[in-house]
Amino acid sequence: MISYRIIGWFAASLFSLSACGETPAAGKPAPNSHNAEQTIRQNLEKHYSGQLKITNVTPTPVKGLYEISTSDRQIAYTDAEGRYVIVGELVDLHQNINLTAQSAQELNKLDFGILPLDKAITEVRGNGKLKVAVFTDIDCPFCRRLEREFSKTDNLTIYNFMMPLSFHPDAPRKSIQILCQNDPVRAWTQYMREGKTPPQVSECPNPLQETMALGERLGFNGTPTMVFPNGKIHSGYLPADELIKMIEQNQ
């Protein structure tokens, strides 16, 4: 799912225009295509007084329509003057392709190398050749379902980063109990896949706050969220056949 925080800026601008009862002036001829990127950047960033930073401007298959992306990884569309803005998804019905989702996948790619793998609960299955990182919540039912699908895989290394969500108030305590076990990997897999609660242990130094902050910094607001070595991100549960295919295609 694509999150459009950018809509707040645009909605505020539209409200201001309607409240003042301002009538738009007649349009000017569109600039040449080679000047469009500069014009769009200047006009939009000026209009939003520095709150909006345009990182990329690209033409779309629709004549006169440009895709813009922002510094906080949002996507919208505008004309060659940066006067009109469309917030939504652009779909090619002939090819049945969601062009916005396609762009978002590229925009949201993450450098797998920045992940602090030493902070994860790491399960190695078989030779561990394939890799995936998962931001997960111990009280998330979809995370449990995903874990059961992981049990059907082979030759895979799974890096589990604890990211309890705010509406699961007991999840931080449970996560710490897992992290502080003598064998956190076994405790994690048994709890998530078999429902076996590990023995109570004393709290120990653990990376929970770090991994929670990492997830927030990366913009993850739901679990499970998977990150693949090629940088692709996928949010949500997948059945084993789809999961294995996605892992294999995104190394």
Which of 75, 107, 139 delimits the end of a domain? 107
State the Cα–Cα distance between residues 219 and 213, nearest whole angstrom: 10
The answer as to whether 1 is a domain residue is: no
Q: Could you give the C-alpha distances from 176 to 160, 167, 188, 208, 221, in angstroms and in order?
A: 13, 17, 11, 7, 20
- Say whether 111 sits in a helix, a strand or coil: coil
Token pair for 225: 């969220």
On the CB side of 166, CA atoms within 13 Å amount to 5
State the Cα–Cα distance between residues 240 and 247, nearest whole angstrom: 10
Per-residue pLDDT, 33 = 54
Looking at the fold, whether 17 and 83 belong to one and the same domain comes out as yes
Which of 42, 73, 107 delimits the end of a domain? 107
* Confidence label for 2 from pLDDT (cuts 50, 70 and 90): very low
Per-residue pLDDT, 49 = 83
CATH, residue 38:
3.10.450.70
% of the chain with per-residue pLDDT over 70: 86
pTM of the predicted structure, to 2 decimals: 0.69
Distance of CA 87 to the CA centre of its chain: 18
Q: Tell which wins on pLDDT, 25 or 66.
A: 66
| Percentages (nearest 5) of helix, strand, coil residues in the chain | 40, 20, 45
